Amino acid sequence: MTEFGAARAHMIESQLRPNKVMDGRVLGAFARIRRELFVPEHLRVVAYIDEDLRLGGSRYLIQPMVVARLLQTAAIERTDTVLIIGAGSGYEAALAAQLARSVIALEEDPELARRARAALVEHSIASVSVVEGPLSLGYRPRAPYDVMLLCGAVAEVPSEIDSQLAEGGRLLAIVKSASGIGRATLRTRTGGVMAARMLFDAATPLLPGFSPKPAFVL
């Protein structure tokens, strides 16, 4: 086993399983995807640590445990279409591609989108389409989506993104309150009505453009 292969196996056994990630399909996806190819080269030696890793600027690759728990909750099926918002370097999209029929990876930073395409080619993953555009608008051309995942914390989920979720769909996001506490949240659409359920706390950094709106002060 290579050094990175050993680190990947250790991540699964020491970070994912102890945090209640037991879905075999999700664990299998983490075992197949080489996380070291989705971080800047100087961070490859620490690609598998249990932390958010800076991709550049204000963008981060979310810590493995948080991503795994979100994907497990999403319960992605083989027939699902998934939208990844804030795809960054493409890691979450690559994982979702192991579980879904097709994945749209939305990214607004051209350099990150380029890196995502390169890493996906390295994995021979053809079921992911990397598209570029404003993250806060989602990607309506391929809506509705069975599963939507926001790869970074948000102050709130914009209504435009909510509206692209299919009936029976699942939207996963880290919602960060004004106090700075982030909570993984599952949003579902049933009978046209959106409902939300808190899952666990997460200190995930905010996605650009999704910060809290300034409060009005008299």
Give the model confidence (pLDDT) of 164-201 as tens digits. Answer: 999 999 999 999 987 788 999 999 999 999 999 999 99
In a domain, 139, yes or no: yes
CATH code, 15: 3.40.50.150
Q: What residue type is 95 in one-letter code?
A: L
Q: State the pLDDT at residue 77.
A: 98
In a domain, 210, yes or no: no
In a domain, 212, yes or no: no
Answer yes or no: is pLDDT of 216 > 80: no
Average pLDDT score, the chain: 95
Q: List the structure tokens of 10.
A: 């250790």
Are 91 and 112 contacting, i.e. CB atoms less than 8 angstroms apart?
no
Average pLDDT over every residue of 111-119 = 98
Flag whether the pTM goes above 0.75.
Answer: yes
Answer yes or no: is pLDDT of 215 > 60: no
In a domain, 179, yes or no: yes
Could you list the beta-strand ranges (E) of the chain: 53-56, 59-61, 81-85, 102-107, 128-132, 145-154, 165-176, 182-190, 193-201
Average pLDDT over every residue of 28-42 = 97
- The distance from CA 129 to its chain's CA centroid, rounded to whole angstroms, is 15
Quote the CA–CA distance of 128 and 88 in Å, as a whole number.
13
DSSP bridge pairs for 145:
165
Domain range enclosing 107:
3-201
In a domain, 49, yes or no: yes
Answer yes or no: is pLDDT of 213 > 70: no
Phi/psi of residue 75, nearest 5 degrees: 50, 55
State how many domains the chain has.
1
Answer yes or no: is pLDDT of 35 > 60: yes
Quote the CA–CA distance of 151 and 166 in Å, as a whole number.
19
Which residues, including other chains, have CB under 8 Å from residue 115's CB and lie 6 or more apart? 38, 89, 90
In a domain, 148, yes or no: yes
Quote the CA–CA distance of 97 and 67 in Å, as a whole number.
14
Phi/psi of residue 77, nearest 5 degrees: -105, 160
Are 115 and 128 contacting, i.e. CB atoms less than 8 angstroms apart?
no
